[in-house]
Structure 1
Amino acid sequence: MSHLLSSGAWLFVAIVSLLATGVFGAIFHSLRDLSRSALEEILKHRVDHKRASRVRRIIDDPDGHAAAVALARVVFSIISATGCLMWIVEQTSAPGTSVSVQWVWAIGGIAVTCITIWLAGTVIPQSVARHLAEPTIYGFASLVRAMYMVTAPLRLLVRGIDGAVRILAGKEEVGDVEAIQAELLDVVAEAKEEGQLDETEQQMIRAVVRFRDTTVRAIMTPRTEMEVLELTNDLGSITSMIREGGHSRIPVYEESIDRIIGVFYIKDLLRWLAGVGGSRGGKTFNLRSQLRPAIFVPESKTIRELLDEMLEKRVHIAIVLDEYGGTAGVVTLEDIVEEFFGDVQDEYEKPEDAPGAKTDEVRRVAELDARSYISDANEALEPLGLALPESEDYSTVGGYLTVALGRIPQTGERFELPAGRATMQVSVLEAEPTRLVRVRIEVAKPTESPIAIAEPAPKTIAAPETLGFAPAQR
């Protein structure tokens, strides 16, 4: 076989294949490190519309094009290695070559071949991709598209293998947007671990990434926590509520809280009290005449859409409706701001009223607001190796505990429940007759006589929301 080509021909094949390996390696890594926005900026300053069209097709399916390029990279790597080895064979098979010289050629040649292919196929391409990813894709767009077309039949095989592995791993299929979000969150987590971001910065970035998916229901104050006025309230009861609650905008209902007819602004009351020239002229206060129109939004609306609507209509408060048209809660502009910057307490809020979670990794214990969502609670419990199960039957910590026990636990109770791969011990710190308020969760310590683990009750139990469980008051 070594006589199929001459020694020089094998060397030529090895060098050409090595260059091709480097080119396809640079393209492959560039597709992985590609910045779509930077590439779009390059396209704005180019007049080659055909090439721009090819580039946009590549952007639409970067993984598919990367797989096609990876195949070419592997093929040329094999050809390059084969060429180098055959050239070494030609050098060592010459008549009169001693065994020791043959061994030196073999070991040295293989070592040089491996290092050369590593440098040309991995190190240099990675450097090119790190600094010139977008120009590389733009320059080789035609070649990338050609490889994509040639390997079309193999892409079906690749997708089949990927789907099979995904199913075996128990993972759900995610779209491009979800994949990008997950990647961004991973980068943020790594940056925090490396000390490049602090906890506050990480939370802000995570909130921005999830901004498009977070719904109004996740941030609203539920109806059980709402402070509202009834249309029949007199001036004395209104001023009393203002003093106790400290809110500047209060929803007003007629007959039932499901019939919100407007929003009462405190500054309108001040304007009425001032009157014309500082006198009300003996007029009787009429709450209906002081109301401003309320805007209503579904609880499934995203906070991005809600923010746009609030800015457009220049309002700070909206009434949230459930799927049946009833009042589900209230949401304010402050709630949206707190999604990015955390709890914002004004001069009327008491520090102890601020909900949240306190995690002590040393003692392996966490204190949670029972109205916290399961997803938020799991973030606090993650350092402890605990995870609360998610279900359509509940959405909050209090809801889960109520469903699991089949009743509303009371202050001072202690019990154990499964939490992922571990068992957690729950202590009820505060509870009311109709709902939980705050709980302590810690990793259960194995004992000879453990507390009985409570099993989830049948699904005939009332939904937690009807029992008064909901996210914390904003």
Structure 2
Amino acid sequence: MIPATALFWIAIAMLALGGVLAALFFSLQEMSRSGLEELAAARGKASARRHVEKILDDVSGHATAVALPRIVCNMITAVASVIWVASVDGHGTPQVWDVVIGVAGASILIWVFGLVVPHSVATYAAEGTAYRWSWLIRACYIGQMPLRSVVRFFDEIVRRLAGKGPATQGEEIQAELMSVVEEAQHEGQFDKTERDMIEAVVSLRGTTVEQIMTPRTEVEALQLTNNLGEVTKFIKSSRHSRIPVYDGSMDQVVGMFYIKDLMRWLAGDGTRGAGKPFELKSILRPALFVPETKTIRELLAELVDKKVHIAMVADEYGGTSGLVTLEDIVEEVFGEIQDEYEIKEDDAPEIAVNQAARSAEIEARAYIDQANDELRSIGVTLPEGEDYDTVGGLIVTTLGRIPAVGETVTIGDAVIHIVEAEPTRVGRVRLESRAAEPEVTVTEPRPEEAVGEGRAE
């Protein structure tokens, strides 16, 4: 039988080791990657720097590796405490009260020295703790290498059940940066506007051209022509100074028309001065084409390099998908910018709900989540999907084609009538709810209440 003194010191040792491992676990969750890198570079120990590099390659994996021995230490602390209490009481086998007293005492000690104190250490000295004990973190990680496949297996199952994609190192750094910004906002160092701007800048890495472009159906473009009257008429109706020019189809963009280039031509610069007739193609500038999948950050670098403010967006088949401008990128960071040439109008798609008729008039470009927010009042929830974002996309995906005006499609509790449509898209729809109306209960007054009211009169 182990002496009581030995049991006491085993419990204390396991409690201390569990506290250190808890501090390391919380430190790996709270620390700043850049702070740990700077600390390792400043201290100058080659072995510690190597440990830090390995830890930063898989922070979550090292945190998991530290968690298992921490749990084991806490369990040994509790068991040793129970046996020690029994030994002090002179019992060879722990009795019920020995277990109660031992577990209660161990729980309090583990809560204080295995949770409260380690969490405080991690809050105020996360990087220093992780650096100083980096050798122990690595030892736990290496010692559990045979178990890594089991950990990855269950991690993958949980990730798929949650519908999440595998996180990259860049995403982890981005999440860490945003957590720091949010904490600074709570402390009053940033206001909401500044926080939103920082978040927008950080997200530029993952935001694609497709997400901010003007779709093809809303692009104002000019058909190639040498009729100066048609060109000037188009300019009067347009709200833009840079206009794509196509030949026959929007898939055949031949260049970019800058109004200032026409002004130079009209002023006698170039071909007009030589007495040549107007030819639109002669004053066009080359069009820049970018893929839908290009990130905004890459697009910004290319626009700056090419010294242009506008680019055509090409889809995977080589057709024109839309148009993107430098202003679109700026608005992604600073929000909507209204210049003096833009018409001040509400660009939000119209969703007009008539609760009495249990129907709604909806612009098909309205996003599904926007529509559902309004349609809940008439008992309708449109299904969301990965293949579409808008009400029009839902209809086209359901039918497998673009419907004509007058057609009707039933989706769940909604009967959708096509009110406006073009050969290439759905414009406006009328939705009628088939959901059961909520029951209205009318409570009749009790006889004595009715009598009382009659007397009052």
TM (norm. structure 2) is 0.77
Aligned AA (2:128): P
Alignment equivalent of 1:35, drawn from 20, 32, 35: 32
1:436 lines up with 2:426 in the alignment: yes
Displacement of 1:145 after TM fit?
A: 0.6
1:44 lines up with 2:45 in the alignment: no
- Determine which structure has greater relative contact order: mean sequence separation of CA pairs < 8 Å that are 6+ residues apart, divided by chain length: 1
1:215 lines up with 2:205 in the alignment: no
Alignment of 1:309-348 (within 5 A): 309-348=302-341
Given that residues 343 and 354 in structure 1 are in contact (C-alpha distance below 8 angstroms), is that contact kept between their aligned partners in structure 2?
Answer: no
In 2, distance between residues paired with 1:302 and 1:148? 36
Displacement of 1:156 after TM fit?
A: 1.9
Q: What per-residue deviation string (whole Å, max 9, x for no partner) do you get for residues 222-269 of structure 1?
A: 333322223324222212111111111011234543332221111222
Partner of 2:53: 56
Partner of 1:397: 391
Alignment equivalent of 2:114, drawn from 115, 121, 126: 121
Displacement of 1:380 after TM fit?
A: 6.7
Displacement of 1:25 after TM fit?
A: 0.2
Given that residues 350 and 363 in structure 2 are in contact (C-alpha distance below 8 angstroms), is that contact kept between their aligned partners in structure 1?
Answer: yes
In 2, distance between residues paired with 1:246 and 1:436? 24
Alignment equivalent of 1:69, drawn from 39, 59, 66: 66
Displacement of 1:308 after TM fit?
A: 1.2
**Counterpart of 1:389 in 2: which secondary structure?**
coil
In 1, distance between residues paired with 2:194 and 2:415? 32
Displacement of 1:407 after TM fit?
A: 5.2
Partner of 1:378: 369
In 1, distance between residues paired with 2:372 and 2:179? 21
Q: What per-residue deviation string (whole Å, max 9, x for no partner) do you get for residues 452-474 of structure 1?
A: xxxxxxxxxxxxxxxxxxxxxxx
In 2, distance between residues paired with 1:13 and 1:355? 68
Q: What per-residue deviation string (whole Å, max 9, x for no partner) do you get for residues 154-175 of structure 1?
A: 22222223334455x3635523
Given that residues 244 and 256 in structure 2 are in contact (C-alpha distance below 8 angstroms), is that contact kept between their aligned partners in structure 1?
Answer: yes
**CA distance 1:186–1:424, change in 2 (3 Å):** farther
Displacement of 1:121 after TM fit?
A: 0.9
1:144 lines up with 2:141 in the alignment: no
Displacement of 1:337 after TM fit?
A: 2.6
Displacement of 1:138 after TM fit?
A: 0.8
1:9 lines up with 2:6 in the alignment: yes
**CA distance 1:292–1:163, change in 2 (3 Å):** closer
Displacement of 1:400 after TM fit?
A: 1.6
Alignment of 1:70-89 (within 5 A): 70-89=67-86
- The worse-fitting range, judged by mean Cα deviation, of 339-348 and 298-307 is 339-348
Partner of 1:458: none
**CA distance 1:331–1:173, change in 2 (3 Å):** closer
Displacement of 1:182 after TM fit?
A: 9.4
Q: What per-residue deviation string (whole Å, max 9, x for no partner) do you get for residues 74-121 of structure 1?
A: 1111122222222211222289xxx9xx95x87555433211111111
In 1, distance between residues paired with 2:242 and 2:408? 40
**Counterpart of 2:43 in 1: which secondary structure?**
coil
Given that residues 368 and 389 in structure 2 are in contact (C-alpha distance below 8 angstroms), is that contact kept between their aligned partners in structure 1?
Answer: no
Given that residues 416 and 444 in structure 1 are in contact (C-alpha distance below 8 angstroms), is that contact kept between their aligned partners in structure 2?
Answer: no
**CA distance 1:359–1:88, change in 2 (3 Å):** farther
1:93 lines up with 2:90 in the alignment: yes
- The worse-fitting range, judged by mean Cα deviation, of 341-350 and 131-140 is 341-350
Displacement of 1:294 after TM fit?
A: 1.6
**CA distance 1:371–1:187, change in 2 (3 Å):** farther
Partner of 1:175: 167
Given that residues 264 and 290 in structure 1 are in contact (C-alpha distance below 8 angstroms), is that contact kept between their aligned partners in structure 2?
Answer: yes
In 2, distance between residues paired with 1:425 and 1:207? 39
**Counterpart of 1:14 in 2: which secondary structure?**
helix
| Structure 1 vs Structure 2 CA RMSD | 4.3
In 1, distance between residues paired with 2:122 and 2:130? 9
In 1, distance between residues paired with 2:11 and 2:79? 7
Partner of 1:236: 229
**CA distance 1:396–1:61, change in 2 (3 Å):** same
Could you tell me which runs of 5 or more consecutive residues in structure 2 were left unpaired when the two chains were aligned.
439-457
**CA distance 1:34–1:438, change in 2 (3 Å):** farther
Given that residues 88 and 109 in structure 1 are in contact (C-alpha distance below 8 angstroms), is that contact kept between their aligned partners in structure 2?
Answer: yes
In 1, distance between residues paired with 2:61 and 2:344? 53
Partner of 2:20: 23
Partner of 1:250: 243
Displacement of 1:22 after TM fit?
A: 0.6
In 2, distance between residues paired with 1:218 and 1:116? 53
**Counterpart of 1:161 in 2: which secondary structure?**
helix
Alignment equivalent of 1:298, drawn from 288, 291, 294: 291
Alignment of 1:385-464 (within 5 A): 386=381, 388-392=383-387, 394=388, 396-405=390-399, 408=403, 410=405, 417-418=411-412, 423=413, 431-434=420-423, 435-438=425-428, 445-447=435-437
Displacement of 1:141 after TM fit?
A: 0.7
**CA distance 1:282–1:379, change in 2 (3 Å):** same
Aligned AA (2:67): A
In 2, distance between residues paired with 1:111 and 1:16? 18
**CA distance 1:326–1:109, change in 2 (3 Å):** closer
Partner of 1:454: none
Aligned AA (1:260): V
Given that residues 216 and 303 in structure 1 are in contact (C-alpha distance below 8 angstroms), is that contact kept between their aligned partners in structure 2?
Answer: yes
Q: What per-residue deviation string (whole Å, max 9, x for no partner) do you get for residues 380-430 of structure 1?
A: 7479594633254x554312213325652648x886523xxxx557576x6
**CA distance 1:225–1:161, change in 2 (3 Å):** closer
Percent identity (aligned): 43
Given that residues 7 and 83 in structure 2 are in contact (C-alpha distance below 8 angstroms), is that contact kept between their aligned partners in structure 1?
Answer: yes
**Counterpart of 1:308 in 2: which secondary structure?**
helix
Aligned AA (1:45): A
Given that residues 310 and 323 in structure 2 are in contact (C-alpha distance below 8 angstroms), is that contact kept between their aligned partners in structure 1?
Answer: yes
Displacement of 1:40 after TM fit?
A: 2.0
Could you tell me which runs of 5 or more consecutive residues in structure 1 were left unpaired when the two chains were aligned.
449-474
